[in-house]
Amino acid sequence: MIEFRKQNLSETFSVYFDIRMLKILLLGAIQGFPWVLIGSSLSLWLKEDGLDRSTIGWAGLIFGVYAFNYLWAPLIDRIHIPFLTKKIGHRRAWIVSMQIIILSSLVLWSMLKPSESLALVISVGLLIAIASATQDITVDALRIEQIGEQEGKSMAAGAAMVVVGWWTGYKLGGVISLFTADILENSGFQNYWQLTFLILGTLIILMNIGLMFVNEPINNDRGAIQKNNDNLISNKLGKGNIFSKSLAWISGTISGPIISFFKKNGFSIAIGILGFVFLFKIGEAFLGRMSIIFYKEIGFSKSDIAIYSKTLGWITTVIFTLLGGLFVIRSGVLKAMFLAGILMAGTNLLFSVLAWSGKSEVLFAVAVIFDDIAAAFATVAFVAFISLLVDRTYTATQYALLASIGTAGRTTLASSSGALVDWLHGDWGIFFIITAIMVIPSLIILYYIKDKLKISEK
């Protein structure tokens, strides 16, 4: 049972001064940064190279790999990276390996032009997405393992800090990306995006240096329990042959985490949780996928977008993520989720007002601020919820399963966002109204299962 104990405000806020929160902040930044590359940077690169909205929207299918990273998450819980694992630890070895792949991909992007090599550009973007999705599995596991199983208050605070970190990596990475591209373009460089990607590569190197300061807890029990489960399966299959041992290892690796999740929650509640997770952020994803295209079409420059959407948005996100963490601790995760759902729907409607009013810096700022407030509350509640549900024996796998199902709704369905705008003949106002309505099914599911989750709101 998940419990949140009521505390006075100063006691609640003091948890953010735990040194572990700074390390979790860095882990969040490592997760958020790749989304700048395959999200806003790639979208704007394609737009400025002459590709249409539908093509840009469908290019977003590369995000779909985040929806399926749970398929190889069991392997990451168990397979060691040669040499690196012994030197820097199991979790950090996986993160560094994926960061090297992302850095290499940026170098390759710097040599390409979308209008001439679209398939290759998207393929490299897919490689970044795969490496990023794989990295997320072990970053989430390392983040959860920084905090003890019984530290509910610290886990909620950690959820807030990882969200702040994610948005720091995403927003500030976006600021650097957009300002750099704008400066290089105005300076007369034709390959300004290609040069920007090389500059962004230096941030990856800095993040890996910082990663070395994140301690990796040694968990001997995890390996022992996993091995014991393998032995139980092997005994049923018949001991003494390579086939039975191999089958036992595969069965324990893949089925163990899933069986544990359904056994812990019960079949109907587990299905309800999965349904809610899948649907909760679809509307936000539709808006997010097309937002930078919308800003560009109504007349905002890259610098305008950097200032309002990235810089202003980052400040707002940091403040309200921390406040959202306090709200989760004091009021409970379910109340936070219902509030976040209502806020997400309401803020999407602000973009409809902006669309029908035309270019307005005031409306732009208001819409961005309230959108980031909603996103902050929603993400903190979501991360705290699924972090507290995972079994520490299968940390990486179970968290990846829940997170990837949430991502599936946001990526696979939201890839049709560009086509939806085209189908609406460019009526952005109606588009944003539709995205507001999308949150309703998830809230209905949450209302249905809330009393059966046995979550204490104390």
**Which residues, including other chains, have CB under 8 Å from residue 287's CB and lie 6 or more apart?**
348, 351, 371, 432, 435
- Round to whole Å and give the CA distance between 94 and 99: 9
Whether the full predicted model's pTM is greater than 0.75, yes or no, is no
Say if CB 61 and CB 195 are below 8 A apart.
no
**SS3 state of residue 327:** helix
Average pLDDT score over the chain: 79
Instruction: Give percent of the chain above pLDDT 90.
Output: 8
Q: Which of 2-16, 187-201, 359-373 has the highest mean pLDDT?
A: 187-201
Q: What is the mean pLDDT of residues 25-42?
A: 87
Element (H, E) at 250: helix 242-265
Quickly list DSSP for 346-402. HHHHHHHHHHHH-S-HHHHHHHHHHHHHHHHHHHHHHHHHHHHHS-GGGHHHHHHHH
Q: Which tokens sit at 61?
A: 């299918």
Q: List, for residues 248-267, the tens digit of each pLDDT value.
A: 555 555 666 677 777 777 78
Confidence band for 394, pLDDT divided at 50, 70 and 90: low
- Round to whole Å and give the CA distance between 149 and 221: 14
- More confidently predicted of 432 and 74: 432
- Round to whole Å and give the CA distance between 437 and 450: 21
What CATH number was assigned to the domain covering residues 9-214+247-452?
A: 1.20.1250.20
Q: List, for residues 336-354, the tens digit of each pLDDT value.
A: 888 888 888 888 888 888 8
What are the φ/ψ torsions at residue 219 (nearest 5 degrees)? -120, 90
| Residue among 411, 390, 98, 109 at smallest CA distance from 282 | 411
Q: Which tokens sit at 292?
A: 């930078």
> What does the pLDDT read at residue 5?
47
Say if CB 307 and CB 55 are below 8 A apart.
no
Q: Hey, where are the domains in the chain? A: 9-214+247-452
**SS3 state of residue 3:** coil
> What does the pLDDT read at residue 104?
93
> What does the pLDDT read at residue 221?
56
Judged by average pLDDT, the poorest of 116-120, 152-156, 417-421, 436-440 is: 152-156
| Residue among 219, 216, 218 at smallest CA distance from 88 | 216
Please give the C-alpha separations between residue 263 and each of 5, 235, 256, in angstroms, as whole numbers: 26, 22, 10
Give the distance from CA 373 to its chain's centroid. 17
Tokens 């079949």 correspond to what residue?
A: 267
> Looking at the predicted structure, is the pLDDT value of residue 288 above 80?
no
Q: Which of 98-102, 329-333, 369-373, 427-431 has the highest mean pLDDT?
A: 98-102
| Residue among 18, 372, 27 at smallest CA distance from 166 | 27
Q: Which tokens sit at 54?
A: 């539908």
- Round to whole Å and give the CA distance between 77 and 91: 9
Radius of gyration over every alpha carbon of the chain, rounded to an integer in angstroms: 22
- Round to whole Å and give the CA distance between 224 and 231: 10
Q: What is the mean pLDDT of residues 354-360?
A: 83
Label each residue of 149-177 as H, E or C: CCCHHHHHHHHHHHHHHHHHHHHHHHHHH
Q: List, for residues 102-144, the tens digit of each pLDDT value.
A: 999 999 998 888 888 888 999 999 999 999 989 988 888 888 8
Say if CB 388 and CB 2 are below 8 A apart.
yes
- Round to whole Å and give the CA distance between 274 and 128: 27
Q: What is the DSSP letter of 241?
A: S
Judged by average pLDDT, the poorest of 2-11, 205-214, 240-249, 296-305 is: 2-11
Tokens 């936000």 correspond to what residue?
A: 284
Say if CB 202 and CB 67 are below 8 A apart.
no
> What does the pLDDT read at residue 3?
45
Please give the C-alpha separations between residue 395 and each of 90, 152, 342, 391, in angstroms, as whole numbers: 13, 16, 31, 6
Please give the C-alpha separations between residue 7 and each of 78, 190, 210, 458, in angstroms, as whole numbers: 39, 57, 33, 10
- More confidently predicted of 247 and 326: 326
> Looking at the predicted structure, is the pLDDT value of residue 296 above 90?
no
Confidence band for 233, pLDDT divided at 50, 70 and 90: low
Q: What is the mean pLDDT of residues 270-293?
A: 82
Confidence band for 228, pLDDT divided at 50, 70 and 90: low
- Round to whole Å and give the CA distance between 321 and 143: 17
Q: List, for residues 43-76, the tens digit of each pLDDT value.
A: 888 888 877 777 787 777 787 787 777 778 777 8
Confidence band for 283, pLDDT divided at 50, 70 and 90: confident
Q: Which tokens sit at 364?
A: 């732009």
